[in-house]
């Protein structure tokens, strides 16, 4: 079974080497997609003997993940993992995330920071008690999705799911779109607990508004 | 009266520019017709302001005709900005496809 890890990276020179080295033993191939970084993320990743793809224009995390996922599909990956380059996730959790896929218990698995309370200890209070419940409410009201973690960036999917889920959101709205498409296409969804270390705040309230606007505009374009 | 003349001069300037752009083939036929209709309709509305006042009053509005024209133009502007936003999103999607194609080609 070929397992690919897709890591989108934008100006992550400080973390990229450590992230690649932590993930490398857990998977068959690591694919870093450099989203036109202005620092030396690309050259550092390239030195690690892995596949590095480069966007010549900065497009956003959603677009970088899609590029990496398309590459993995082309290279006959059986399982594709999405793993951030900022060092907030733990590579040891990859085993937990892919377990339901390997055992054919799910088509797509989302790592959740909210299943175990100790997993989100460092999460900023406003994010934990305001933004996340709001995002959860939006998912429930607009898409009828009821997952513990509404904006999980750590996910794994089978090759079949990756082909089925054709997300168009280039920026952060891809999280909601992937969730929505997984539900729409009747994929077997599973959430598993993961741990996260917080180096910075991450998504702000204004980003949340932007995500909603992006999703609304995408509906109109179709 | 003076304001109406100034407004008509401005419209005449834009109409002249429109014809010039059309002659130089800088705009498409559809764009030319749209803007021609827009500016001619604006000129007619300004010339017949008194009539617009009466129409507006008949509809039960207390504001004068020129105010209603102003509100309508703001609404049209919002619509145009929104259309522009959609168009930009489409262009962004095309750029994404090109950038991805280049990234995967290597």
Query: Chains A, B: CB contacts under 8 A, how many?
Result: 40
Please give the span between the terminal C-alpha atoms of chain B, in angstroms, as a whole number. 67
Is the residue at B22 inside a domain?
yes
- The ipTM value here is 0.80
DSSP assignment, residue A128?
Answer: I
**pTM as predicted:** 0.75
CB contact (8 A) between residue B104 and residue A70: yes
In a domain, B23, yes or no: yes
For range A91-115, the mean pLDDT: 93
Of A63, A71, A220, the CB nearest to B86: A220
In a domain, B6, yes or no: yes
Instruction: Encode pLDDT of A146-157 as tens digits.
Output: 777 777 789 999
Q: Does residue B77 fall inside a structural domain? A: no
Q: Name the residue among B85, B96, B106 with its Cβ closest to that of A63.
A: B96
**CB atoms B100 and A63 under 8 Å:** yes
Interface contact flag, A221 B90, Cβ < 8 Å: yes
Contact B11, B46 (CB under 8 A): yes
Partner residue opposite A170 with nearest CB, options B92, B102, B104: B92
Average pLDDT over residues B46-75: 80
pLDDT higher than threshold 80 for residue A140 = no
| Domain-located, residue B81 | no
Nearest by CB: A217 against B85, B102, B104: B85
A70 near B CB under 8 A: yes
B103 min Cα distance to partner chain A (Å): 5
Residues within 8 A of A (CB atoms), B 44-103 only: 85-86, 89-90, 92-93, 95-96, 99-100, 102-103
Residue B93 placed within a domain:
no
State residue B10's pLDDT score: 92
* B3-15: pLDDT as tens digits: 889 989 999 999 9
Contact flag A53-B102 (C-beta cutoff 8 Å): no
Contact A63 B103 (CB under 8 A): no
- Nearest alpha carbon to residue A97 among A84, A86, A108: A108
B103 to A218: CB separation less than 8 angstroms, yes or no: no
Q: Taking 60 as the threshold, does the pLDDT of residue A74 lie above it?
A: yes
Residue A97 in this model has a pLDDT that exceeds 80: yes
DSSP A22-49: HHGGGSSEEEEEE-S-SSSHHHHHHTTS
Per-residue pLDDT tens digits for A176-196: 889 889 988 999 999 999 988
pLDDT at A218 over 80: no
Rounded Cα distance between A197 and A90, Å, is: 8
B14/B11 Cα distance (integer angstroms): 5
Residue B42 lies in a domain: yes
Mean pLDDT over residues B33-48, rounded?
90
Q: Is residue B8 part of a domain?
A: yes
Is A222 at the interface with chain B, CB within 8 A? no
The pLDDT of residue A201 is above 60:
no
The predicted model gives B49-66 an average pLDDT of: 77
Q: Mean pLDDT throughout B16-32?
A: 91
Closest residue in A to B105 (Cα–Cα)? A53
Query: How much of chain B is in helix, strand and coil states, percent to nearest 5?
Result: 85, 0, 15
pLDDT of residue B66: 73
Q: How confident is the model at residue A172 (pLDDT cuts 50, 70, 90)?
A: confident
Q: What tens digit of pLDDT does each residue of B72-81 get?
A: 889 989 998 9
Q: Which residues contact B55 (CB under 8 A, 6 or more apart)?
A: B65
Q: What is the pLDDT of residue A161?
A: 96
* CA proximity to A163, closest of A107, A96, A103, A85: A107
Residues A104-139 pLDDT 10s: 999 999 998 877 766 666 667 776 677 777 777 777
The domain of B26 spans 1-47
- Would strands A79-82 and A155-158 be described as parallel, antiparallel, or unpaired? antiparallel
Q: How many domains does chain B have?
A: 1
């Amino acid at each position: 079974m070929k397992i690919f890890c897709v890591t989108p990276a934008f100006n992550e020179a400080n973390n990229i080497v450590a992230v690649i080295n932590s993930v490398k033993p857990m998977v068959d191939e690591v694919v870093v997609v450099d989203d036109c970084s202005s620092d030396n993320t690309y050259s550092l990743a390239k030195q690690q003997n892995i596949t590095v793809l480069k966007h010549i224009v900065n497009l956003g995390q959603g677009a970088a993940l899609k590029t990496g996922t398309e590459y993995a599909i082309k290279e006959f990956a059986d399982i594709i993992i999405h793993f951030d380059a900022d060092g907030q996730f733990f590579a040891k959790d990859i085993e937990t995330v892919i377990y339901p896929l390997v055992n054919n218990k799910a088509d797509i698995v989302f790592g959740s920071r909210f299943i175990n309370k100790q997993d989100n200890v460092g999460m900023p209070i406003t994010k934990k008690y305001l933004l996340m419940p709001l995002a959860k409410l939006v998912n429930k009201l607009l898409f009828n999705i009821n997952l513990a973690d509404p904006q999980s960036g750590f996910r794994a999917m089978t090759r079949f799911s990756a082909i089925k889920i054709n997300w168009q959101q280039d920026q952060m709205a891809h999280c909601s779109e992937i969730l929505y498409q997984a539900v729409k296409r009747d994929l077997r969804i599973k959430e598993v607990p993961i741990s996260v270390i917080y180096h910075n705040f991450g998504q702000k309230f204004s980003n949340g508004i932007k995500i909603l606007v992006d999703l609304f505009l995408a509906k109109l374009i179709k | 009266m003076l304001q109406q003349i100034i407004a008509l001069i401005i419209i005449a300037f834009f109409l002249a520019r429109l014809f010039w752009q059309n002659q130089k083939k800088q705009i498409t036929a559809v764009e030319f017709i749209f803007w021609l209709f827009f500016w001619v309709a604006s000129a007619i509305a300004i010339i017949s302001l008194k009539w617009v006042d009466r129409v507006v009053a008949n509809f039960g509005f207390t504001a004068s005709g020129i105010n209603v024209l102003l509100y309508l133009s703001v609404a049209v502007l919002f619509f145009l900005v929104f259309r522009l936003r959609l168009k930009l999103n489409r262009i962004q999607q095309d750029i994404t496809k090109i950038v991805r194609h280049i990234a995967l080609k290597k």
